[in-house]
Amino acid sequence: MCTGCFRTTDEIRLWRKMTDHRRREILSDRPRREAKLLERVAKRGQRS
């Protein structure tokens, strides 16, 4: 996973083949992806 834009490994691998529209969709989804990751990290911290 990219820690800057939160793209998945598959998205990183396929980035050059994607349309500009799809790239913009992925990048505009960054805030949701970051929040989801932070939620997972917080839950993991609660289990300790």
pLDDT of residue 48: 61
pLDDT of residue 8: 94
pLDDT by residue (tens digit) across 1-48? 888 899 999 999 999 999 999 999 999 999 999 999 999 999 988 876
pLDDT of residue 47: 74
3-state DSSP of 2-44: CCCCCCCHHHHHHHHHCCHHHHHHHHHCHHHHHHHHHHHHHHH
Query: Where do the domains of the chain lie?
Result: 9-47
- This prediction's pTM: 0.77
